[in-house]
Amino acid sequence: MAGTIDYYYSHLSPWSYLGHQRLINAAKQANTTINFRPIDAGKVFAASGGLPLAKRPVQRRNYRLAELRRWRDESGLALNLQPKFHPTPDRCSAQIAIAAQLMGLDIGALSFALMRGCWAEDENLADEDTVAAIATAEGLDGPALLERSKSEDVAARFEQYTDEAIEAGVFGMPWYIVDGEPFWGQDRLFFVEKKLGL
C-alpha cells in the first residue's frame, strides 16, 4: 500500500478539476495521504518547454476541446469548455488554498470548490473577493483566509511547491507522484489506483 501521494495541480487546469475528486476518493479507499501542492502553471511550463494555451497551434487547441467534451461527458461533471475567466494567473486561488492548508482546514474540498468556480460557474479566480466568497460558501471564514493568503509564509509556500514541482520533473497538471513514481494527467488515475492497490 502506498504511503503518500504528492499531488501537483492548478485550479485553472480543467484536467485537475476532472480528476480531483476521483483522486481524493481513491486515497481515502487506500488509506493514503495526499500532499496537496497548488503550483504556478506558467513557471512550470516555462521551465519544461510547455506553451500556454493561447500559444499552442490551432490543431492542438481544437483537439483539447474534443478531449474536454469526452471527459466532461464521462465524468458527469459540469464543465464549461471555454469559461469566461480563463486563463488567469494561479496565485490568488493557490494562495487561499494554501492558507487553508496551513490553518489545518480541508484544502482538498476548497480546491475542488475553486476549480468548480472556474470551470462550471464562470467565476474569476484571480479576483480576491471571488475566491473569498467561494471559501465562505464552503463554510470557511473567507475574509480571514484571504487575509492569511497574503502573508509571506503562504507566498513562500506557493513558490516552494512550484520549485519542488520543477525539480521533480513536472511539466503538466495534474501530476501525481505515488511512492516516487510519476503519473501525468487525470487519464492516468487508473494506474494511480493500481499503484494504490485498488
- Distance of alpha carbon 138 from alpha carbon 34, whole angstroms: 20
pLDDT in tens, the chain (198 residues): 568 999 999 999 999 999 999 999 999 999 999 999 999 999 998 887 776 777 787 898 889 889 999 999 999 999 999 999 998 999 999 999 999 999 999 999 999 999 999 999 999 999 999 999 999 999 999 999 999 999 999 999 999 999 999 999 999 999 999 999 999 999 999 999 999 998
| Residue span of the structural domain in which 145 resides | 4-195
Count of domains observed in the chain: 1
pLDDT tens digits along 149-181: 999 999 999 999 999 999 999 999 999 999 999
- CB under 8 Å to 60, separation ≥6 — which residues? none
CATH number for 149: 3.40.30.10
Grid cell at residue 23: 483522486
Instruction: Exactly one of 13, 16, 111, 149 is catalytic; name it.
Output: 13
Q: Is residue 33 classed as helix, strand or coil in its secondary structure?
A: strand
Give the pLDDT score at 151.
97
Name the pTM for this structure: 0.94
Q: Is 16 an annotated catalytic residue?
A: no
- Distance of alpha carbon 100 from alpha carbon 103, whole angstroms: 5
Give the pLDDT score at 55.
75
Are 40 and 90 in contact, with CB atoms under 8 Å apart? Answer: yes
End-to-end CA distance of the chain: 9
Could you tell me the strand order of the sheet in which 4-9 lies? 33-38, 4-9, 175-178, 181-184
Give the pLDDT score at 4.
92
